[in-house]
Chain A
Amino acid sequence: MDAKTQKYDRQLRLWGNSGQEALESAHILLVNATAVGCEILKNLVLPGIGQFTVVDQGTVTQNDIGSNFFLDSESLGKSRAERACELLGELNEDVKGHSVAKDILAVLTETPRYLAQFSMVIATDVTRQTAEKLAALCWLNGQESGTTSGLKSTDSPAGKKETTFVWVKTAGLLGSARIAVPEHTIVEAHPENVADLRIDTPFPELVDYAKAFNFDTEDTLEFGHIPYVAILLKYMDEWKQQHHGKIPSTYAEKNQLKANIRSGMRSGDDENFDEAINSVLRSCQPTVVPSSIKELFADAKCVNLTSESANFWILTRAVKDFVDNTEKSGGLLPLSGTIPDMKAQTDSYVTLQSIYKTKAKHDVQEVSKIVEHLLESLGLASGSISLQEIESFCKYSAFLKVIRFRSLEQEYNQPKAQQIGEGENWEDDVDPLHVHVATLLQSWAVEGDAVSKELTHEVCRYGKGAVHNIASFMGGVVSQEIIKLITHQYIPLDNTFIFDGARSVSAVYAV
């Protein structure tokens, strides 16, 4: 085991080498070295992102060192960007840190395409105007590029990068995070169960396998080790013969099938029969293409491929064409090829495993052929989508996911920037804020007193104060989301997260 694998062992078990590669090729920009910003970066530098850049014009104040662990008393009066970069950089010798002691708007004036080099822009403690400007520039990058599954930018056909925008705010015991990127695609959503056993529509090799078991054997050990898949197939086949080829559909029918299986048990504790009975409900779910995947098949990006199309969409199209070729696919998605553990003798389990794996491999080959055709017709290089990527795409094809976030522009149009609760006479802010909230609610046609005076008062009480625990909590949540976005594994939140530290509750809204 090499040194890197040793250091990253605990996380590689979560996102594997492909996720780690995606992290290592990421370059993340932090706008303003706030407590929450540095907490986010801490949780990203530790697992080894490629590079980070801190842009901040400010110098370190006493309040900074009271809330930010990556600024210390020696930093007082020095550049926030430089000191934060230095202390964060100590966390991982494999990560490159850069700092720019300027205001982000000044940087953008000098270099208008500045943001295009980043995979992610995290804005903290910025005005709404600045946030909107950053969000719009990132959004443009995202639309220009072919967003692709968790691969290096050079692997995507167009060679362009997406830039995801994240805006994080904390005030007293409140925290919120907003994510915006035109489109985010996920292949490895890490579903709980990827088993796809096809008990209702067994393929010929599976039928033959099940038939080979002797259910009349005298040998109790042999009987107790017939794999439950074979038991289910036998009883399902008998059922179909008695019911014009149909599988049980009603609750009563499913219970009857369970009873049929139970009647075949010899002793009360044939575990394999129990396993079969416990799988009846799932097995009576007809194997079909899930509606969420059908929607992807109908998506314009799948239908109208171009040479700029991301691998994700070329692969989605290939799977669609595979499904449409019913002779080859039976109208079903490629087989996942994994089976759960079950009571069985080693040989019969290994054989069953290999039957599913072989069929899955066969499906992958068919999809690969289609991918090659598509690449050729698009004028893209043969083999530019690796077999490994096709395999993983086929394995998880029932769980593909696309999130299209709403932009900040879409979220709201009325400009507003009000500093809340900053002054000595903070309670004077309660009434104006309450009126403002009421006006907003009215304009959105939200009826009644949805936001109470007490809550408005509470927000003013917080007065934008940086409380480290909240910064750290939000730092954890946001960095977790960023890892999901960069690796294209697991499902990120869409699109706004709010944490109420006073009541210890949270919520996600698609605003």
Chain B
Amino acid sequence: MIDTQTITDHERWAGIYKLLDRTSLIHPEFEPQEEIKEFIKSCKILVIGAGGLGCEILKNLALSGFCDIHVIDMDTIDVSNLNRQFLFRRADVGKPKAVTAAEFINKRVQGVTVTPHYCKIQDKDEDFYQEFALVICGLDSIEARRWINATLVGFKGQARVILPGITSCYECSMDMLSKPTGFPLCTIANTPRLPEHCIEWASVLEWPNKHGERKMDTDDPKDIQWLYETALARAKQYNIQGVTYSLTQGVVKNIIPAIAATNAIIAASCCNEALKIATTCAKNLDNYMMYSGNDSVYTYTFQHQRKEDCPVCSNSVSKLEFGGDKTLEDFMDYLKEKPDIQLKRPSFAIGGKPLYMQAPKQLEEAMRPNLAKPLKDLFSNGDEVTITDSTLPFSMQIQVTFL
């Protein structure tokens, strides 16, 4: 065996050092400097999420020569992760993702230190995030992405470069997300047609009926089995076909199909940009790349524009027109469905005075009558309404003009 001491940066990183030692005529601004190599080794970089994208990102950064990498993730390993989260083995099921991933990379790639943080992103304060030169975000939850965007500087997943104050931010592009798939309550309750309607009935209406205060644990096979059987019975009653265990799980956990190949593409794009930004060896992506592989391979690179009234990266107030005769409940339903806002359980206030609060329970009950009142009885035309929601990392101000 060869003594591992003989590994030299020059030989090991030959591919990357060609980029760093040689000038470019298509990017003449770049000046090769030894300091750049030192910077890659010493700069602190944070990876958010140690899931499908996170595993790929950690590997890519380690093999790009970054030596001081941190990773933050609150999750533990599930058996369904193994088809793509390649730093985990069957024996690791149940262990924290951040810790297991860090151990694997530290063992595999000599000279790299990955520091795990097994906690929620919200558990860390602003000072923690400010320590890092770069942040790469490999999250699949819209809520978490929103939170990170409102909290820190950096750039993030989905092959997108966000330079605060320069490019558009995550919140600017909320309207590009597809509408969350939800089914109207009256369909679920009265006129089910699809197997999904029966599953929603079991989880939304029948679960609280039968289990009272106990919350559903979608990771517990027993709970899924109960939902499956309950949905199946309802489907039989209505002559609806297609309720399966797998579909039940898919609907209640809102499962997005995922494979290693797609994660690899997105993660590699992000890390390619990270290396370009850290070294300036080539121009960075400005600022958005989409990838589609259903029919052939298609990538689309474009400059996403900032939103003038973005609640995060601009200081202006959003404006909205809405019927003054419509009720607060109508208004709430409208905001829940609006793709660029995406609220789950919004609370409303006007000039610091609450109009409707989702919690605590007593307050909710006391203010519930307001939901049935027309907006014009609750505030005046042109007033600014403050909206808070558990999905929002900030409070949103909307100026409402009555139609």
Contacts and interface: CB of A to CB of B under 8 A. Distances in A.
B110 interface: yes
Contacts of A11: 83, 257-259
A408 B274 CA distance: 36
B19 to A, nearest CB: 6
A274 interface: no
Contacts of A189: 295
A63 B261 contact: no
Interface string B83-97: 110100110000000
Nearest to B294: A490
A469 B294 CA distance: 23
A505 B4 contact: no
A491 interface: yes
Interface stretch (B5-13, B116-124, B162-170, B341-349): B5-13
B262 interface: yes
A494 B297 CA distance: 9
Interface string A301-342: 000000000000000000000000000000000000000011
A13 B265 contact: no
A465 B268 contact: no
B56 interface: yes
B260 A465 contact: no
A503 interface: yes
A424 B25 CA distance: 18
A426 B22 contact: yes
B252 to A, nearest CB: 13
Interface string B185-224: 0000001111000000000000000000000000001000
Contacts of B272: 173, 469-470, 473, 501, 504
A344 B191 contact: yes
Given A1-B245, A72-B109, A225-B191, A10 B258 contact: yes
Contacts of B17: 465
A508 B282 CA distance: 23
Nearest to A426: B22
Contacts of B238: 346, 350
B80 interface: yes
Interface in A446-462: 453-455, 457-458, 461-462
Interface in B255-281: 255-269, 271-273, 275-276
A37 interface: no
A76 B301 contact: no
A8 interface: yes
B83 A458 contact: no
B11 A465 contact: no
Contact of B296 (A3, A62, A65, A508): A508
Contacts of A508: 296-298
A43 B293 contact: no
Contacts of A475: 261, 264, 268
Given A7-B79, A473-B264, A504-B301, 8 more contacts: A1-B221, A13-B257, A46-B86, A457-B24, A466-B14, A469-B64, A470-B268, A481-B297
22 contacts: A1-B246, A9-B249, A10-B84, A10-B255, A10-B257, A13-B255, A39-B264, A62-B7, A63-B12, A67-B63, A342-B193, A346-B191, A350-B238, A455-B26, A462-B19, A465-B16, A472-B60, A473-B265, A473-B268, A504-B285, A504-B289, A508-B296
